[in-house]
Amino acid sequence: MRPRSRVSLLGLGLLAGALLLEGVLQGVAWTVWSRARPAETRRASEGKRVVLCVGDSFTFGYGASSTAGSYPAQVARLLERSGTGPWDVANLGWPGQDSRDVLARLAGQLAALRPEWVLILVGGNDAWSRPELLDVAETSDEGVETFPIRWRTGRLLTLLARRAAPEIPGGTSSPPVAPAELLGDWILGETPIRFEPDGDLRVPAGTLRWSAEGEGLTIRLPSGSDLRFRWELVTGDLLLTDAQGRTAHHLVRRDAPARTESANAVAAGWQAIQERAFGPALTLFAARLEKVPEDPLALGGLAVALHRLDRTRDSARATGRLRALHEERGDAGTGEALLGVLREMGKRSETLAFAEELVGIHPDTVSAWVTIAEEGRLAGEDAASSLAVERVLDLTEGRHPLWRAKALRLRAERRRDSDPDLAIRDVVEAFLLDGDEKQTRMHLAVGWQSFTRERVEACLDLVAPPEGRRREFERLLGRVGGTPTRVPEVLKAHWRQMVRLCRARGARPVLLAYPFPDEVYSRSLEEASRENGVDAIWPRGEFERRLRTTPRGDLFVADGHCTDEGYGVIASLAAEFILERIR
């Protein structure tokens, strides 16, 4: 056969493999999408009056001691005491959401829950996320999302790309260091993967390159871009985690086919939790636990999914099983699984206490030190938080790039005002480690008055990243600074569509303001309220009144979110507003 013919056949083979992979991914995506709608898997409560609360971290309850301290949970208790129920208050807030995110999900939530009232508290994140305008007519006449058709093979290869990875030897270069634990045949879903000692990574569509340094795993794609993960072995399975510390891929040994389906259920279950598909997540974790009853990751996922579905007693039993398993084993991995459950459940004080206990037993547990840094900051324990950040940076020197990036951003936040030049350097180095554009944009936007372009350019000259990475960072910098006139206009357009969707479903919408001063946001909310004839609740006045006699720390945590008492103020205003209009 002529060389050109062999090349053509190889190309056709790779194309066929890619098309087959794309077909499988589309099928899997449709199955997950169809099972997960609506994302929260909540349904209307028969015989109850429903209040739907949507928004960002202020609705979710970030900063509260537990989920019971969020404003929706406190609204539920106040309404129940009024004797006007029974009531069901659904908290579908989620940290980091902007107005586009809330609008995109609202129609499905309305259809599932059929609420009488909808409380909307969103817009603060728009200042840094700069969302594009969403017209709900793009999804359907009612704003209900349809299955999104997109090239999923490309998304699979680039979703978790960490472009700051070190160079991987290619071609005839000397082979990388190959941890023996990784070598050999693995199964990802139904896809066979083989790690070769010479740095080749065999997959059905061709050959990639791989390299490992410590617990960091880098995969070089044919395009030249890199995927970067943290790897660890748990009960013989290979877990690859992403920039947020979530399980991105779960591989099992090829010689263990009986475990393949249930093991991959764990990764799929945690992914479903991130997508707020809690019902499907529950099914996936249960399937795994039928095969391996003491899998800590599956037990933790089961506890979290039950918690999100308001099955409190069942969640407590699953958490108890995991806690007993940790006491029996005493290993760091099981401890980290339990720590993750406490954190996901929003049990802040218990999370912090357990993290401190865990580092006392396993002093090199990076995730626990990160937890102490984050929770200590929220609790106003700046000294403890700062020490934990420095401990993380010591432990992650040359390894654990994702945890290191998180610690750098925490340190940047702490010294943004006192030393903006060093803070900028921390933000730049974190981006080079994990490529997280969302976090980078947020930090640049929050610090835009101190992070001048001149300072950023000087920092980039000092750090000297590869030219391509520098251009990426400068592109992000170009999207922040000040408050462009388009942001308030997009926010008002999204509020307008939220109001229309609520009214079309027979629900009464109410806009809520944040409890702190923001002239641009407040003016936009006031205009939206007036132009759409929708009520608005303004907690700021009550907060200012209380702050005359109450320490700020009683109402706000260090980063500006509310404490239980602060969320209680918002809840009192919201419950009073609803009760006045139904009596």
Tens digits of residue pLDDT in 211-226: 887 778 888 766 566 7
Extract the tokens encoding 387: 């020490």
Q: Which residue do the tokens 């993750």 mark?
A: 340
Give the contacts of 291 (CB within 8 A, at least 6 positions apart): 258, 259, 262, 263
Could you tell me the CA-to-CA distances from 233 to 84, 245, 250 in Å, in that order? 53, 15, 10
The fold of the 276-478 domain, in CATH, is 1.25.40
CATH architecture of 49-143+486-582: 3-Layer(aba) Sandwich (3.40)
Per residue in 22-71, pLDDT (tens digit) is 554 555 444 444 443 444 445 556 788 999 999 999 999 988 888 889 99
* Average pLDDT of the residues in 362-383: 88
Phi, psi (rounded to 5 degrees) for 82:
-75, -15
Q: Helix (H) and strand (E) counts for the chain?
A: 24, 13
Reference 436, options 159, 232, 124, 220; nearest CA is 159
- The confidence score (pLDDT) of residue 229 equals 81
Residue 292 is which amino acid? V
DSSP states of 527-551 as a string? HHHHHHT-EEE-THHHHHHHHTTS-
Residues forming beta bridges with residue 193, ordered by sequence position: 186
Rounded to whole angstroms, the Cα distance separating 404 from 406 reads 5
Is residue 505 within 8 Å of residue 136, measured between CB atoms? no
Extract the tokens encoding 75: 């609204």
Q: CA angle at residue 93 from 380 to 57, to 5 degrees? A: 25
Give the contacts of 55 (CB within 8 A, at least 6 positions apart): 93, 97, 102, 119, 120, 121, 122, 512
SS3 241: strand
- Flag whether pLDDT at 148 surpasses 70: no
Query: pTM of the predicted model, to two decimals?
Result: 0.63
Beta strands 117-121 and 49-55, pairing class: parallel
Rounded to 5, what percent of the chain is helix, strand, coil? 55, 15, 30
Bigger pLDDT: 148 vs 125: 125
Is residue 295 within 8 Å of residue 235, measured between CB atoms? yes
Sign of the CA dihedral 250, 251, 252, 257? positive
pLDDT tier at 438 (50, 70, 90 boundaries)? confident
Residue 469 is which amino acid? R
Rounded to whole angstroms, the Cα distance separating 287 from 264 reads 10
- Domain extents in the chain: 49-143+486-582, 161-255, 276-478
Beta strands 535-537 and 508-512, pairing class: parallel
Longest pairwise C-alpha distance within the chain: 88
Least confident range of 42-56, 122-136, 166-180, 381-395: 166-180
DSSP states of 264-307 as a string? HHHHHHHHHHHTT-HHHHHHHHHHHHHH-TT-HHHHHHHHHHHH
- Flag whether pLDDT at 390 surpasses 70: yes
Least confident range of 255-259, 461-465, 497-501: 255-259
Bigger pLDDT: 502 vs 238: 502
Cβ of 397: how many Cβ atoms within 10 Å?
A: 8
- Flag whether pLDDT at 175 surpasses 50: no
pLDDT tier at 412 (50, 70, 90 boundaries)? very high
- The confidence score (pLDDT) of residue 21 equals 53
How far apart, in Å, do the first and last CA atoms of the chain sit? Answer: 86
- The confidence score (pLDDT) of residue 33 equals 42
pLDDT tier at 128 (50, 70, 90 boundaries)? confident
Rounded to whole angstroms, the Cα distance separating 215 from 256 reads 24
Residues forming beta bridges with residue 118, ordered by sequence position: 52, 509
Extract the tokens encoding 424: 């900028």
> What value does the mean pLDDT of the chain take?
80
Buried b (16+ CB within 10 A) or exposed e, 76-99: bebbeeeeeeebbbbbbbbeebbb
Reference 431, options 396, 458, 466; nearest CA is 466
Element housing 508 (H / E)? strand 508-512
Extract the tokens encoding 288: 């795994």
The fold of the 161-255 domain, in CATH, is Lipocalin (2.40.128)
* Average pLDDT of the residues in 87-104: 92
pLDDT tier at 147 (50, 70, 90 boundaries)? very low
- Flag whether pLDDT at 282 surpasses 60: yes
Least confident range of 8-17, 339-348, 359-368, 410-419: 8-17
Rounded to whole angstroms, the Cα distance separating 64 from 567 reads 8
Reference 305, options 322, 283, 331, 327; nearest CA is 283
HSE (side-chain half, CA atoms, 13 Å) at 238: 25
- The confidence score (pLDDT) of residue 9 equals 47
Length of the chain: 583
Sheet holding 87-91, edge to edge: 87-91, 49-55, 117-121, 508-512, 535-537
Rounded to whole angstroms, the Cα distance separating 24 from 30 reads 10
Element housing 461 (H / E)? helix 453-463
- The confidence score (pLDDT) of residue 146 equals 46
Extract the tokens encoding 39: 């994302």
Rg of the chain taking only CA atoms, in angstroms: 25
